Amino acid sequence: MFAAEDPETGEVVWFDTSSKVVRSAFHLGQIRRENEIDQFFRKNSIDRVVIDLSEADQPYLRPLVRFFKQRERKR
């Protein structure tokens, strides 16, 4: 279980993270947000680097190197 507070209203809502329905809803919401961000960046010609913080050692290094190599190839 975890609690989330609405910053506008102050309302606190509890989520049962052991519930498969709750986990699925969060997962689908995350996918939707990622798609919206991707569309916004593409529409506005903004380059995007995705960094997975779950990588143990220097999670930012590999994505940044890949990003700059791809950018160099575009030139």
pLDDT attached to residue 39: 96
Please, which pLDDT band fits residue 58 given cuts at 50, 70 and 90?
Answer: confident
pLDDT attached to residue 50: 84
3-state secondary structure at position 25: helix
pLDDT attached to residue 53: 80
24 vs 8: CA distance, rounded Å: 25
pLDDT attached to residue 71: 86
pLDDT attached to residue 34: 93
Domain ranges in the chain?
A: 1-44, 48-75
54 vs 63: CA distance, rounded Å: 13
Q: Write the pLDDT tens digit of every residue in 13-57.
A: 999 999 999 999 999 999 999 999 999 999 999 998 888 787 767
